Amino acid sequence: MEQRLFGRTGIRVPVIGQGTWLLEKDRAQAVTALRRGFDLGMTHIDTAEMYGSGAVEEIVGEAIAGRRDEVFLVSKVVPQNASRQGTIRACERSLRRLGTDSLDCYLLHWPGNHPLAETIAAFEHLTRDGKIKRWGVSNFDEEDLEEVVRLAGPGRVACNQVLYHLGERAIEHYVLPACERHGVAVVGYSPFGQGRFKPPRVLDEIARARGAPPRQVALAFLTRHPVTFAIPKAGQIAHVEENAGAGALRLTDEEIRRIDQAFPAGRPRRRSLPTL
Ligand code: NAP
């Protein structure tokens, strides 16, 4: 599993991690699947207080019990809770459900109505208290990102987690370059379009030639840029195992060109990132 620097944090994180949205449906299988992922190097775990209204954080807590040191653990505060005090209380609730005393990264799930400066103040407070190691944002477009960097100062925003799959490459126009400019890692969520992904012909052809499944080719494409990471969610062990294999797959320039042609990045738009 390739690891790469996570923005300017100085920490190396696996390029392929594990999402956890909707993982609450089969708790025992979810725990086994996550642990299988850890064994294969997918130790970047993305969760959120919102997922299963806290139930998913409890599942993640069970999966990381006894293995906390192996894991880069990320959770998120919903914007409604992201006031100065609300963020701190939400983080403490997440820590209890996860059975840990600190998060590796804590994100604002999407831009909301509480002043961003308050959320940042709470994140910095939590960092000083050792409850989070670093913080970031999610679903921030270029303008939102410029604003959070302006308020927080350089080098404070670890990542921006955004929608990114072959059918939705909007971030490549402005968000990804802005993240790169500011040393912010780009974590692509829903890399399989939330399960709607159907491997098209060009991926099948590349996959056959490389002896790799088409979804590995898709993940390799989405992580071809050195600031990007992907966090597919898989409740089934066979899927976990397949996804982990993408962490060692490097596409050639010609393969990238063919995929780029088949799935064009679309028209540039600066504002309002698409979300699922
Ligand atoms: P996704 O990862 O694009 O797709 C998940 C679906 O793909 C599941 O149905 C899964 O099936 C299936 N799948 C996974 N690997 C597969 C494989 N190798 N072969 C066939 N099917 C496979 O969708 P997502 O859950 O929306 O996104 C991933 C993660 O990103 C989330 O879980 C969450 O952590 C994060 N996310 C963040 C935001 C945000 O606003 N920040 C929004 C959405 C998602 P099984 O489960 O049956 O294995």
Residue 31 CB coordination number (10 Å): 18
Band of pLDDT at residue 195, cut at 50, 70 and 90 = confident
For residue 133, the CA-to-ligand 1 centroid distance in Å is: 25
Please report the pLDDT score of residue 198 as a whole number: 79
Please report the pLDDT score of residue 274 as a whole number: 65
List Cβ neighbours of 147 (8 Å cut-off, separation of 6 or more).
Answer: 116
Tell me the pLDDT tens digit for each residue of 208-225: 999 999 999 999 999 999
Please report the pLDDT score of residue 271 as a whole number: 62
For residue 153, the CA-to-ligand 1 centroid distance in Å is: 33
For residue 19, the CA-to-ligand 1 centroid distance in Å is: 6
Tell me the pLDDT tens digit for each residue of 124-164: 999 999 999 999 999 999 999 999 999 999 999 999 999 99
Using a 6 Å CB cutoff, which residues line ligand 1?
19-21, 46, 109, 138-139, 161, 189-195, 215, 231-236, 239, 242-243, 275-276
Residue 89: pLDDT over 60: yes
Mean of pLDDT over the chain: 95
- Residue 226: Cβ-neighbour burial (10 angstroms; 0-12, 13-18, 19+): exposed
3-class DSSP string for the chain? CCEEECCCCCCEEECECECCCCHHHCHHHHHHHHHHHHHCCCCEEECCCCHHHHHHHHHHHHHHCCCHHHCEEEEEECHHHCCHHHHHHHHHHHHHHHCCCCECEEEECCCCCCCHHHHHHHHHHHHHCCCECCEEEECCCHHHHHHHHHHHCCCCEEEEEEECECCECHHHCCHHHHHHHHCCEEEEECCCHHHCCCCCHHHHHHHHHHCCCHHHHHHHHHCCCCCEEECCCCCCHHHHHHHHHHHHCCCCHHHHHHHHHHCCCCCCCCCCCCCC
Q: Give me the phi and psi of 234, to 5 degrees please.
A: -145, 120
CA distance 26 to 30: 6
Band of pLDDT at residue 275, cut at 50, 70 and 90 = low
Instruction: Give me the mean pLDDT over the 16-33 stretch.
Output: 96
Band of pLDDT at residue 272, cut at 50, 70 and 90 = low
Please report the pLDDT score of residue 197 as a whole number: 78
For residue 199, the CA-to-ligand 1 centroid distance in Å is: 15
Residue 71: pLDDT over 70: yes
Residue 60: pLDDT over 70: yes
Instruction: Give me the mean pLDDT over the 259-273 stretch.
Output: 78
Mutate to test the pocket of ligand 1, among 190, 217, 221, 241 (most ligand atoms within 8 A of CB): 190
Q: Report the relative pairing of strands 228-230 and 185-189 from DSSP bridges.
A: parallel
Q: Determine which residue's CA is closest to atom 12 belonging to ligand 1.
A: 195
Residues serving a catalytic function are 51
Q: Determine which residue's CA is closest to atom 6 belonging to ligand 1.
A: 195
